């Protein structure tokens, strides 16, 4: 039953014939887990909290960074350096004190995914990398939970629903991973600040539709939106009956052709530069225009010159934006197993900003 306070809080839902008290009580009974409290996760969390979803889980091991604030509007400058799940749950409680929050300040992985998913009715995937998306998909299938999925890329976004009533899954749409470099995340390539808000709101809409049995879900459908033109299309896809998920992958980074890359901020590097070796993988012309020293081996020469790098100190790899340096590290991980490799976050663009 709804309390007097809840009835006032949800008044605009209660007067909707399609929702009413019965629908609002149903929202109160549901448990939804949001994976990722970033650009997509923030609007999803805000709208599900406001709507009255009874229990909301949040999984994220990240802290608030100043670069997040351009799009992750749940946070402020006062939150920089603090745990996202802690900050998010505290602020959301002030939006709606009737909601229970179950926070996981940890990274989702093979060891915890099924156990965490089993506690919830619906999973929301707001992650930004392919290994985690496949992990979420497989964990949801094994836990028999539907997934509301979203992704963003520069000015474009996608939303879909997977594994709803044993329907098509993420693997039915993307049987093979395209590789991490095919679609860099927003920290590498940038994203329009309002785009996560648009797509996150659409994701929250799918969650509410699923709970309240309203309209038609994006089950077996992928909504694609171009924020510059506002053109959108819906791509349909079918369940692949040959895709059987009976266990988790041994290593999702290997499956996706990637390995986890450690990074270092420019400030951290400059404060302790004597403890590192710097490797610049830009072109000769880029290096001549500006460089901060260290070894210079252009990316196209790296395979044949990889052994020139010393192994007595960690190697910080840099390029102009941080994208080519990741490719260089992927290559070096296979060639130099004796070297610790770090990617310079944001690349050398930071010197011109």
Q: What is the DSSP letter of 270?
A: H
Which among 54, 60, 34 has a CA at the least distance from the CA of 206?
34
Name, in order, each residue with C-beta under 8 angstroms of 22's C-beta and a sequence gap of 6 or more. none
Contacts 24+ apart (CB under 8 A), 283-290: 286/320, 290/348, 290/351
Which residues, other chains included, contact 135 with Cβ-Cβ below 8 Å and sequence gap of 6+?
Answer: 108, 109, 110, 113, 248, 249, 252
Tell me whether residue 319 is one of the annotated catalytic residues. Answer: yes
Q: Which residues pair with 125 in a beta bridge?
A: 35, 149
Q: Is 186 a catalytic residue?
A: yes
User: Of the candidates 146, 185, 223, which has an alpha carbon nearest to the alpha carbon of residue 38?
Assistant: 185
| Catalytic-labelled residue, pool 172, 186, 256, 318 | 186
Q: Contact 181/253 with Cβ under 8 angstroms? A: no
Torsion sign, CA atoms 276, 281, 284, 289: negative
DSSP helix, strand, coil percent of the chain (3-state; round to 5): 40, 20, 40
d(CA 56, CA 207): 12
Cα separation, 212 vs 206, whole angstroms: 10
Between the CA of residue 218 and those of 4, 125, 221, 251, what are the distances in Å? 35, 14, 5, 29
Residue 114 CB coordination number (10 Å):
16
Two tokens, residue 17: 């014939």
CA distances from 170 to 52, 138, 204, 281 (A): 28, 9, 18, 35
> Which is nearest to 336 in space by CA: 279, 252, 282?
279
Q: Please, where are the H alpha helices in 174-283?
A: 186-189, 195-212, 252-255, 266-271
CB count, 10 Å around CB of 18? 10
Catalytic site positions: 186, 319
């Amino acid at each position: 039953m709804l309390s007097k306070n809840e009835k006032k809080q949800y008044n605009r839902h209660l007067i909707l014939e399609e929702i009413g008290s019965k629908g609002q009580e149903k929202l109160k009974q549901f448990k939804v887990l949001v994976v990722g409290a970033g650009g997509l996760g923030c609007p999803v969390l805000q709208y599900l909290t406001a709507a009255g979803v009874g229990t909301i889980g949040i999984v994220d091991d990240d802290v608030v960074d100043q670069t997040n604030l351009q799009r992750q509007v749940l946070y402020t400058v006062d939150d920089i350096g603090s745990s996202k799940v802690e900050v998010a749950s505290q602020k959301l409680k002030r939006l709606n004190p009737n909601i229970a929050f179950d926070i996981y300040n940890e990274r989702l992985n093979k060891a915890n995914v099924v156990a965490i998913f089993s506690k919830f009715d619906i999973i929301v995937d707001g992650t930004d990398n392919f290994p985690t998306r496949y992990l979420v998909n497989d964990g949801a299938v094994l836990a028999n939970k539907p997934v509301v999925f979203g992704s963003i890329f520069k000015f474009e976004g996608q939303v879909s629903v997977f594994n709803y009533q044993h329907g098509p899954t993420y693997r039915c749409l993307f049987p093979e991973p395209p590789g991490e470099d095919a679609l860099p995340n927003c920290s590498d390539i940038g994203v329009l600040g309002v785009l996560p808000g648009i797509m996150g709101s659409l994701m929250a809409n799918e969650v509410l539709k699923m709970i309240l049995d309203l309209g038609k879900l994006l089950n077996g459908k992928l909504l694609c939106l171009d924020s510059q033109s506002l053109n959108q299309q819906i791509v349909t896809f079918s369940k692949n009956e040959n895709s059987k998920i009976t266990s988790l992958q041994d290593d999702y980074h290997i499956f996706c052709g990637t390995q986890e890359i450690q990074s270092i901020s420019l400030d951290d590097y400059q404060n302790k530069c004597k403890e590192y070796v710097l490797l610049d993988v830009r072109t000769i012309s880029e290096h001549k225009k500006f460089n901060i020293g260290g070894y210079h081996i252009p990316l196209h020469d790296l395979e044949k010159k990889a052994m020139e790098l010393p192994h007595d100190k960690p190697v910080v790899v840099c390029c102009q934006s941080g994208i080519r340096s990741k490719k260089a590290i992927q290559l070096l991980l296979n060639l130099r197993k004796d070297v610790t490799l770090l990617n310079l976050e944001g690349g050398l663009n930071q010197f011109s900003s």
